[in-house]
Amino acid sequence: MGEYFGEVLQRALNRRDLFKTMGLLGAGVLVSSSCGGSGSSGSSVISPSSSSLSFKTIYPNTEDRITVPDGFEWDIIVKWGDALDNGENLNWNRVYEGCTQADVDRQKYCFGYNNDFVGYFKASDGAEILAVNNEYFNPELAFKDFLDLTTLKPKTGRPTKEESMLMLEAHGVSIVEIKKDKDGKYTYVKGSKYNRRITGSTPINISGPAKGHKLLKTSKDPNGELVYGTLNNCSAGKTPWGTLLSCEENFNSYFGGDLNNISDSNIKNLHKRYGIPSSYSAWYGFHLYDDRFNIEKEPNEPFRFGWVVEIDPLNPNRPPVKRTALGRIKHEAATCVVSKSGKVVVYMGDDERFQYIYKFVTKGKYDPNNREANFGLLDEGTLYTAKFNDDFTGEWIMLASVEAGKITVNSNLPDIYKNDPVLVFIDTRGAASALGATQMDRPEDFEWNPITKSAWAVMTYNDKRPSPNAPNPRYPNNFGHIIEIKEEGEDPESTKFKWDIPILCGISGSPDTNSQLVLYKKPASNDTPSISAPDNIAIDKLGNVWIATDGNPGKSRLQKNDGVYVLNPFNKELKMFLSGIPGCEICGPEFTNDYKYFFCAIQHPGEDPEDTGRILSQWPYLNDGVKIPRPSVLFVRRKDGKDIYA
């Protein structure tokens, strides 16, 4: 344990317990319905202390099957390649043996690959809809003999054009209606009018301050207002008016070419800051078959990615929009909550080592009585980045605000941003860095907890951290942690906050203080399930924090399958709810509005965390003779029909 961390921990232990001071223990609290999305089900009085989580914990394992606690059951709702229209499913065997143009054409209408965020929406006609991000693609699992097992790179000539274009069409977002059958099991509705694919080639409007900026203009779009496709859609959020905010994360992965052949030094520097080009481009081959992914030919195309994309799952005819006022980063998630004054606050993280946390506060107010009035709300407002102090306080530093097309930037920003204010939104990382934002350990998901009335921010891990800072006290941080941000006045609009670390992930009972699982500043008991690499989270009606992990299998972590855990912030207990498949990460998590069903996504089952070319699973073994593992979305429910958290 580093000296600095010891100091921070000691000071934390000396503080009065956060929750005791909040008076939450033992007291009934009002469940607010201010949390975003269509998921709120009104207000009711509940008692967190007497509640919840009666299930017997499971423990991390390496089994090639889904494990849930006794009394629960699960099934697959939809998987990669399932037809969303009335046509045929993807011909998985042919894709594996030698992908054709016919397969590329089918993929445009079939459920995408590597399901990440899962959002539950309900239409006014009662239709239940899942909006699911399709983050990336594993050609080494989906295409036969793709890798050269000596170099661990794609073989010469791979991916083929068809493989590459199929991957492009398997990215993006899949929107799918789901329905319960007579046994109460969810299946997807083939051919539903709500079903929709948004892929790496779908036209998407640009709105907000960066629309029409010179850096967004390309030969295919000389006006800088229409992008083809959305890529690396990782996590997301739901707006209070029932739209999806899908987040473009590692968009750099798709761009190839040589930075040295770009003459404009400003563009070169901006691309460097975002990791463009990327060696991963060889796995996708987009730049080999489509010039817009070759930065030598289209140096501005990467500026058209890295945004939050608003999509209306309830209206298949509404075009998606990239909302540039929310900044351009490697967006993990975009969690909405309505502030006390009625504005919408969007919490966001930039998932890369040493990157920053952000929030956006709309200028206008959410109108719950007029859905249409809220489209465009995310185009005007103020973008902030977070600075954490080591006395457990912090502040939101204003980067820039935009109103009626006029941008006001922070007066402490360097001239480059003052001379071209739109740059704050395009080079958001550079602006945050210039203003002294705190470097975090890979910020992943955010959620507003309506019971603790605080924002929960997930730092997945940072095995390269050489020295600590207050909110990232471990170095290296191999296991990750979660930070609770308590906004002043419990108002998400505030610019000051206090913070704490409810969970430092790790191994329960480990004698190594840098590796041990710590819950609310106390080492966890030996019978608590170990946890690492927290990623996506969801908060249930009682304030429990459901944590999906992405990294348990790693060598420096648990070497077990990823899973779903639940932290009860009131009795401070952690339990494990679900264990996944070798090589997969678990995404979602999500609930139905009545909390009878839990949803999660099994992403990249079979992927080798050590990149040695092994295929770790062919799950879900569907008896169709197909060797390829298939990313899938699941539901889980209690067999006794009670609420999922009962």
Residues that bind Ca ion (CB under 5 A): 234, 444-445, 535, 538, 550
From the list Ca ion, ligand FEO, none, pick the one residue 135 interacts with, judged by a Cβ distance below 5 to 8 Å according to partner type.
Answer: ligand FEO
Q: Taking a C-beta distance cutoff of 8 angstroms, is the pair 454, 490 a contact?
A: yes
Shortest Å, Cβ 392 to ligand FEO? 26
From the list ligand FEO, Ca ion, none, pick the one residue 445 interacts with, judged by a Cβ distance below 5 to 8 Å according to partner type.
Answer: Ca ion
- Rounded distance, CA 109 to CA 90, Å? 9
Shortest Å, Cβ 234 to ligand FEO? 3
Shortest Å, Cβ 274 to ligand FEO? 15
Residue nearer to ligand FEO on the CB measure, 362 or 478: 478
Phi and psi at residue 271, in whole multiples of 5°?
-65, -40
Residue nearer to Ca ion on the CB measure, 470 or 586: 586
Residue nearer to ligand FEO on the CB measure, 351 or 493: 351
Phi and psi at residue 78, in whole multiples of 5°?
-155, 150
Shortest Å, Cβ 51 to ligand FEO? 31
Q: Give the Cβ contact number of residue 503 at 10 Å.
A: 27
Six token digits for residue 374:
């809220």
- Rounded distance, CA 499 to CA 487, Å? 8
- Rounded distance, CA 477 to CA 497, Å? 24
Residue nearer to ligand FEO on the CB measure, 249 or 500: 249
Query: In the complex, which residue's CB is closest to Ca ion?
Result: 550
Shortest Å, Cβ 536 to ligand FEO? 8
Residue nearer to Ca ion on the CB measure, 458 or 501: 458
Shortest Å, Cβ 159 to Ca ion? 24
Q: Taking a C-beta distance cutoff of 8 angstroms, is the pair 601, 118 a contact?
A: yes
User: 227's torsion region: left (phi>0), alpha (psi -120 to 50) or beta?
Assistant: beta
Shortest Å, Cβ 72 to ligand FEO? 26
Q: Taking a C-beta distance cutoff of 8 angstroms, is the pair 301, 321 a contact?
A: no
- Rounded distance, CA 515 to CA 375, Å? 46
- Rounded distance, CA 570 to CA 178, Å? 34
Six token digits for residue 304:
């058209």
Six token digits for residue 461:
């891990």
From the list Ca ion, ligand FEO, none, pick the one residue 140 interacts with, judged by a Cβ distance below 5 to 8 Å according to partner type.
Answer: none
Shortest Å, Cβ 587 to ligand FEO? 8
From the list ligand FEO, Ca ion, none, pick the one residue 352 interacts with, judged by a Cβ distance below 5 to 8 Å according to partner type.
Answer: none
Shortest Å, Cβ 55 to ligand FEO? 27
Residue nearer to ligand FEO on the CB measure, 504 or 587: 587
Shortest Å, Cβ 116 to ligand FEO? 6
Residue nearer to ligand FEO on the CB measure, 242 or 480: 480
Residues near 391 by Cβ (< 8 Å), separated by ≥ 6?
Answer: none
Residues near 295 by Cβ (< 8 Å), separated by ≥ 6?
Answer: 255, 256, 257, 258, 259, 262, 271, 276, 277, 287, 301, 302
From the list Ca ion, ligand FEO, none, pick the one residue 487 interacts with, judged by a Cβ distance below 5 to 8 Å according to partner type.
Answer: none
DSSP H helical segments within 265-414, as ranges? Answer: 265-273, 281-284, 286-289
Residue nearer to ligand FEO on the CB measure, 116 or 298: 116
Residue nearer to ligand FEO on the CB measure, 76 or 601: 601
Residue nearer to Ca ion on the CB measure, 410 or 536: 536
Shortest Å, Cβ 28 to Ca ion? 26
Q: Is 463 helix (H, G, I), strand (E, B) or coil?
A: coil
From the list Ca ion, ligand FEO, none, pick the one residue 249 interacts with, judged by a Cβ distance below 5 to 8 Å according to partner type.
Answer: ligand FEO
Residue nearer to ligand FEO on the CB measure, 90 or 538: 538
Residue nearer to Ca ion on the CB measure, 78 or 538: 538
- Rounded distance, CA 106 to CA 122, Å? 27
- Rounded distance, CA 203 to CA 519, Å? 46
From the list Ca ion, ligand FEO, none, pick the one residue 221 interacts with, judged by a Cβ distance below 5 to 8 Å according to partner type.
Answer: none
- Rounded distance, CA 407 to CA 399, Å? 10
- Rounded distance, CA 384 to CA 327, Å? 10
Q: Of the candidates 166, 164, 147, which has an alpha carbon nearest to the alpha carbon of residue 156?
A: 147
Q: Is 265 helix (H, G, I), strand (E, B) or coil?
A: helix
From the list Ca ion, ligand FEO, none, pick the one residue 103 interacts with, judged by a Cβ distance below 5 to 8 Å according to partner type.
Answer: none
Paired residues of 390 in beta bridges: none
Q: Please report, as a single letter, which amino acid is at residue 467.
A: S
Q: Please report, as a single letter, which amino acid is at residue 167.
A: M
Shortest Å, Cβ 149 to Ca ion? 26
Q: Please report, as a single letter, which amino acid is at residue 331.
A: H
DSSP 64: S
Pairing of strands 203-207, 321-323: parallel
Q: Taking a C-beta distance cutoff of 8 angstroms, is the pair 220, 226 a contact?
A: no
Dihedral in degrees, nearest 10, Cα atoms 627, 628, 634, 636 = 40
- Rounded distance, CA 280 to CA 293, Å? 12
Give the C-alpha distances (Å, rounded to integers) separating 374 from 167, 302, 312, 360, 634: 34, 29, 12, 15, 31
Residue nearer to ligand FEO on the CB measure, 277 or 443: 443
Pairing of strands 563-568, 545-549: antiparallel
Residue nearer to ligand FEO on the CB measure, 295 or 348: 348
Residue nearer to Ca ion on the CB measure, 162 or 445: 445
Q: Please report, as a single letter, which amino acid is at residue 591.
A: F
The residue ranges that bind ligand FEO (CB under 6 A) are 135, 234, 249, 332, 351, 444, 535
Shortest Å, Cβ 232 to ligand FEO? 7
